[in-house]
Chain A
Amino acid sequence: MEQLWTIGRELAMGSQGGWGQSKEFLDLVKSIGEARSKAEEDRIIARELEHLKRRLADPDVPRRKMKELLLRLVYVEMLGHDASFCHIHAVKMTHDESLPLKRTGYRAVALFLDERHDLVILVVNTIQKDLRSDNYLVVYAALTAACRLIGEEALPCRPRL
């Protein structure tokens, strides 16, 4: 009966695990939601961070998978846990040619960093380049991040539009 229920649930949620997310992510959210105490939640997230650290270090991770790993890290940070080891991966993703990945990178960077962060210097160049792009969606992604990351010191770097 339990098995039937599981199959039924997976069918209802689709092959991606429902909501267009992987089963791993759904299980993470589910286990955090079912955590009885803060300590248990911290344990789950510590385990998840270890797993993500290993996966991100793997050079053979497909780019689409990288996007999902980054979103999981955004989720972990949103819950107030430290995932600073992954900030550089978010910065790297802003350099990607693929628009969905670039947008995910910018979104993550805007959530992880602020104008006082050391890594901002690595994003300024990309923002400059993307603000000159012909694709308005690329410009829009860069502008959204620029609002959060470009402080007074970096203002002279902005391109003349």
Chain B
Amino acid sequence: MIRFILLQNRQGKTRLAKYYVPLEDSEKHKVEYEVHRLVVNRDPKFTNFVEFRTHKVIYRRYAGLFFSICVDITDNELAYLECIHLFVEILDHFFSNVCELDLVFNFHKVYLILDEFILAGELQETSKKAIIERMGELEKLE
């Protein structure tokens, strides 16, 4: 199961945070700080999986943004690496050539995209086409 998803830039500013397990505010702060320190200082030659407390973090860097997913220790890392890439592809399609500013000003839409394919910490939908179509439907309502 996914514990949380973080989008952070190189300076450590959180651009998006979605927690699938209840955490106190102080704990969230600590987690965000630790995850950022963990992924930023990591050598690019190393794998994109790293142990974090009793879980593991799968991360991927796109330009100046780090996409980090914390999952159970027994989960499949490659599946979540693909999940991050799917998320980025959808963002890129939805915002037509996405940049960090799009995520800042449209963070509520990013949450919506996230809810389209991850529900209760589990991957629900893997079809990019289906997600984009549904997002189009929801956009018409706005």
Residues of A within 8 A of B (CB): 18-21, 25-26, 29, 33, 71, 74-75, 78-80, 82, 99-100, 103-104, 107, 111, 114-116, 137, 143-144, 147-148
> Distance in Å from the Cβ of A59 to the closest Cβ of chain B?
25
Asked if residues A78 and B16 are in contact (CB atoms below 8 Å), the reply is yes
Asked if residues A99 and B17 are in contact (CB atoms below 8 Å), the reply is no
Asked if residues B105 and A107 are in contact (CB atoms below 8 Å), the reply is no
B133 within 8 A of A: no
Asked if residues B28 and A80 are in contact (CB atoms below 8 Å), the reply is yes
Which residues on the A side are within 8 Å of B138 (C-beta)? 103, 137
B120 within 8 A of A: yes
Which residues on the A side are within 8 Å of B112 (C-beta)? 107
Asked if residues A71 and B108 are in contact (CB atoms below 8 Å), the reply is yes
Also in contact, A147 and B142, with CB within 8 A (given A21-B105, A78-B17, A114-B22)? no
B79 within 8 A of A: no
Asked if residues B120 and A116 are in contact (CB atoms below 8 Å), the reply is no
Which residues on the A side are within 8 Å of B126 (C-beta)? none
Interface extent on B, as a size class?
Answer: 20 to 34
A19 to B109, CA, bound (A): 11
Residues of B within 8 A of A (CB): 13-14, 16-18, 20, 22, 25, 28-29, 32, 101-102, 104-108, 111-112, 115, 119-120, 137-138, 141-142
20 contacts between A and B (CB under 8 A): A19-B105, A29-B104, A29-B105, A33-B13, A74-B107, A74-B108, A78-B16, A78-B17, A80-B25, A103-B138, A107-B108, A111-B111, A114-B22, A137-B137, A137-B138, A143-B119, A144-B119, A147-B120, A148-B20, A148-B120
Which residues on the A side are within 8 Å of B107 (C-beta)? 74-75, 78
> Distance in Å from the Cβ of A58 to the closest Cβ of chain B?
22
Closest residue on chain B to residue A98 by CB atoms: B141
> Distance in Å from the Cβ of A161 to the closest Cβ of chain B?
16
